[in-house]
């Protein structure tokens, strides 16, 4: 008797949801905001704004002269292909597969920006007094949460691997 593996369609749907949510929110901000315009939502804590990022996280390589666009496009595709392969081959547990799907969706949300606009659209700005966290977007949120889930899944698998080896 063979057991049927659960369908992986749910992971591809999660990645698609991340892309759609990201692009809908970015289009809304692009339609309703001018560059650097801010709308205070929670006083002294959270604003909506419109800024562009030609680099990666925290504007890493933003002033590199343009080549970084292609580097980050290629990097997102390579990482996404690796994660997709890992989902297909069941290299991760359930948390890892969810995390991988979230990273893939977030990465492609930002890839779309780079292809269509030449930069990533960011609009969520958290701050406190003189401190602020660099503006980010929904895709970035999916990537961060997905990465945490991948790390947690890795710890879980390492624990399971250690217990299996000790039993042998």
Q: Model confidence over 68-112: pLDDT tens digits?
A: 778 889 999 999 999 999 999 999 999 999 999 999 999 999 999
> Within 13 A of 105's CA, how many CA atoms are on the CB side?
28
Task: List pLDDT tens digits, range 149-163.
Answer: 999 999 987 655 555
pLDDT class of 168 with cuts at 50, 70, 90:
very low
Q: What is the pLDDT of residue 98?
A: 98
DSSP string, the chain: --PPPPPSHHHHHHHHHHHHHHHHHHHHHHHH--TT-EEEEETTTEEEEEEEESSSGGGTTTTS-SHHHHHHHHHHHHHHHHHHHHHHTT-S-HHHHHHHHHHHHHHHHHHHHHHHHSSEEEEEEEEETTEEEEEE-HHHHHHHHHHHHHHHHHHHHHHHHHHHHHH-
The catalytic site residues sit at 122, 140
Q: What is the pLDDT of residue 55?
A: 67
What is this structure's pTM? Answer: 0.86
- φ and ψ at residue 56, rounded to 5 degrees: -110, -155
């Amino acid at each position: 008797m063979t057991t049927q593996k659960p369908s992986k369609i749910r992971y591809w749907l999660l990645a698609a949801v991340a892309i759609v949510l990201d692009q809908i929110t970015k289009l809304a901000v692009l339609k309703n905001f001018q560059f650097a315009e801010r709308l205070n939502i929670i006083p002294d804590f959270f604003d909506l704004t419109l800024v562009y990022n030609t680099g990666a996280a925290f504007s890493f390589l933003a002033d590199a002269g343009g080549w970084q666009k292609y580097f980050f496009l290629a990097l997102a595709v390579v990482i996404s292909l690796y994660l997709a392969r890992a989902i297909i081959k069941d290299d991760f547990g359930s948390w890892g597969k969810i995390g991988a799907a979230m990273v893939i969706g977030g990465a492609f949300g930002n890839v779309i920006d780079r292809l269509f606009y030449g930069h990533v659209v960011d609009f969520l700005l958290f701050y406190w007094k003189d401190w602020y966290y660099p503006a980010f977007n929904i895709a970035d949120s999916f990537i961060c949460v997905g990465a945490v889930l991948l790390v947690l899944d890795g710890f879980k698998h390492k624990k399971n691997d250690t217990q299996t080896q000790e039993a042998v």
